[in-house]
Chain A
Amino acid sequence: MDTFSFDIIAQQILYGLLMGSLYGLMAVGFSLIWGIMDMLNFAHGEFFMLGGYFTYYLFSILHINPVLSIFIGMIMIGGLGALIFNFFIYPINKKPNWLINTIIITLGVSICAQNLALIIFGERYKTLPKFIHYTVSFWGIYIGADRLIILIMALLLLGGLWLFIQKTNIGISMQAVGQNKEAAQIIGLSIKGIYTITFAVSGALAGAAGGLLAPIYSIYPSVGFMPLLMAFLVVILGGLGSIKGAIYAGFLLGIVESLAILYLSTAWKDVAMFALMILVLSFRPKGLFGTRSE
């Protein structure tokens, strides 16, 4: 086990926080769909991927300000999420075997989306050029200004989402549907409406994560695979039904991962994290902060 200087460790932790915030964005969206709609959205990674592509094209082709690009991309992906829900998920709402059906159909959407992206965008990696060449430093740690902006935007989005879920009528309605679908219907909530919003919000967050990550990493058709797995991991660690849990677990995982990169090799970090997930599920089926086990 190597020892590293405080600077390097702190640097990695900051990096971990950055990645963690993005994992949180992915996880929260995934958790919303799982918690409110009782399904696993295997196309979640593709929302991420498309968000990345949209941001890329908005910025590099249309030369729209990158921050604005991310927001526009977010809204577009949100709309896409609503459409996908409407055409692929809602029609099978009344059929039995909901879980199996939704797993398979979202897998299908995922495969189609990846291959469409391959055909339309090509297989070459797209990288967003840096738009701010400025480095901020404090306490001996250096961070590019663009990464700092990304971190701040991610935090704002997470905070905004939390407020949305906890304080707005729609957010509370979403929680209600998640906890008791029948009762929510009795008091007049539209399940279709809530589900649509859930999908849209989930997609928007994933799309934002993709757009935010685009300047750091490249975008390619199958880039969504790892973010999807990260979403799984974070939601399970943080516990289903807890937005805060997802956010905390996201940061935790980001830091654990960045330290693992430092101390172990990159290749084994995934194994370590999946093993961690299995362990957590074995001993605490509700996750670390979970409120529900189903």
Chain B
Amino acid sequence: MKKNALYYLLVIVFLFLLPLFIKQQYIINIMVLASIMAILSVSWNLLSGYLGIFSFGHPAFYGFGAYTSALLSLHTAFSPWITMFIGGGFAAFFSFVVALPTLRLRGPYVAVVTLAFMLILGQVCHNWISLTQGPMGLLGIPTLTNFKLFGKLVNFAGISRVPYYYVIMIMLIITMYVAHRIVNSRLGLHLMAIRESEEAAAATGVRITRNKIGVFMISSFFAGWVGAFYAHYILILTPDVFAFFVMASILASTLIGGWGTLFGPAIGAFILTFLIDYAKNLGDIHHFLYGSFLIIAILFMPKGVIVSLQKSFLIVRSRFAIKGEK
């Protein structure tokens, strides 16, 4: 346990020191995008890997948070720092609506219903031009508000992306921490129980509805929160945020990194983002490579998608083993 904590600390220190020796904005940008994808993938995995609910809704919450924050910061006096959280909150609230029909449905039907929500939201965004500018794009989204830190100005409107980098890193650490706390708690155990057999879980006293809705909302909050960040980073929004592409990226990240693990999707997100960026140099063929990767990953993974959450729960196990068994 102590060993793990040391590793995490090393990684965090490395990430925080990175901008000191990598000066190319290009790479910093990729790191930011990768972190966004990491947050998306980890939060999605809570719902689909641990709870077993395959949801296509994540891009919907991502986009919902993005547009909410962008519009609020444009039309009200709220600073983007605040609207980011509001975006996440609204996404969570919206996910409550999405979750309701899915409660009584199984497998393919949940996928279909969440897919429908994603499409509806994308279409609404596309059509409601007076609000969102539709495909022409919502422009002029404010950057995160500058502030003073130790007397120096942290400037989000300048050429350097480094301030954004640090913000997203902190967001990533928070996301990972929350996910870690959920997964390694009795909530995590109950989620997996629901995934394995909802009937048996109920018979064992697990609160099915409460847990499902709760995880839906937590997972969606992070999607919306990071979506909002994205809006204030890219400064332009189009309905593309609701596209299948986002979902495919989440899937690919999770596949690369390992389905049923806590950190896997995050690592996969980083690998994927760098790969995609490299592949873009190859021209239009990179989309094709994307698809082939999905196919190859499924064909050759030893158990298909590995839903083996033993490893993450091992932390709990070994902690008790050390404390002395009877």
Contact = CB atoms under 8 A, between A and B. Distances in A.
Question: Do chains A and B make direct contact within the complex (CB under 8 angstroms)?
Answer: yes
A101 interface: yes
A91 B117 CA distance: 32
B294 A105 contact: yes
A100 B305 CA distance: 8
A274 interface: yes
A113 B255 CA distance: 21
B150 interface: no
Interface in A257-272: 267-268, 270-271
A256 B20 CA distance: 61
B54 A281 contact: no
Interface residues of A, number: 45
A278 interface: yes
A167 interface: no
B12 interface: no
B304 A97 contact: yes
Contacts of B298: 92, 101, 104-105, 108
Contact of A111 (B107, B113, B120, B290): B290
A68 to B, nearest CB: 32
B293 interface: yes
A100 B295 contact: no
A99 B303 CA distance: 13
Contacts of B299: 88, 91-92, 105
Q: At the interface, is chain A mostly helix, strand, loop or mixed?
A: helix
B116 A274 contact: yes
B192 to A, nearest CB: 14
Nearest to A267: B127
Given A40-B111, A112-B292, A278 B117 contact: yes
Contacts of B152: none
Given A104-B298, A115-B284, A99 B109 contact: no
A79 interface: no
B126 interface: yes
A115 B304 contact: no
A109 B123 contact: no
B124 interface: yes
A112 B288 contact: yes
B105 A281 contact: yes
A118 B285 CA distance: 10
B151 interface: no
Given A97-B307, A104-B294, A111 B248 contact: yes
A104 B288 contact: no
Contacts of B287: 111, 114-115
Given A92-B299, A281-B101, A107 B294 contact: yes
A175 B318 CA distance: 50
Interface string B257-286: 000000000000000000000000000110
B304 A92 contact: yes
Contacts of A229: 119
Nearest to B115: A232
Contacts of A96: 303-305, 307
Contacts of A97: 303-305, 307
A103 B304 contact: no
Interface in B165-202: none
Given A111-B291, A274-B119, 13 more contacts: A95-B303, A101-B298, A103-B111, A107-B291, A108-B292, A115-B291, A232-B116, A267-B123, A274-B123, A275-B116, A277-B113, A278-B120, A285-B104
**A-B pairs, 6 with minimum CB distance:** A111-B291, A108-B294, A95-B304, A112-B291, A108-B295, A115-B288
30 contacts: A40-B112, A88-B299, A92-B298, A92-B299, A95-B303, A95-B304, A96-B303, A97-B304, A98-B304, A100-B48, A103-B54, A104-B255, A104-B298, A107-B248, A107-B291, A107-B294, A109-B295, A111-B291, A115-B288, A116-B288, A232-B115, A236-B109, A267-B123, A268-B123, A270-B123, A271-B123, A274-B116, A281-B112, A282-B100, A285-B109
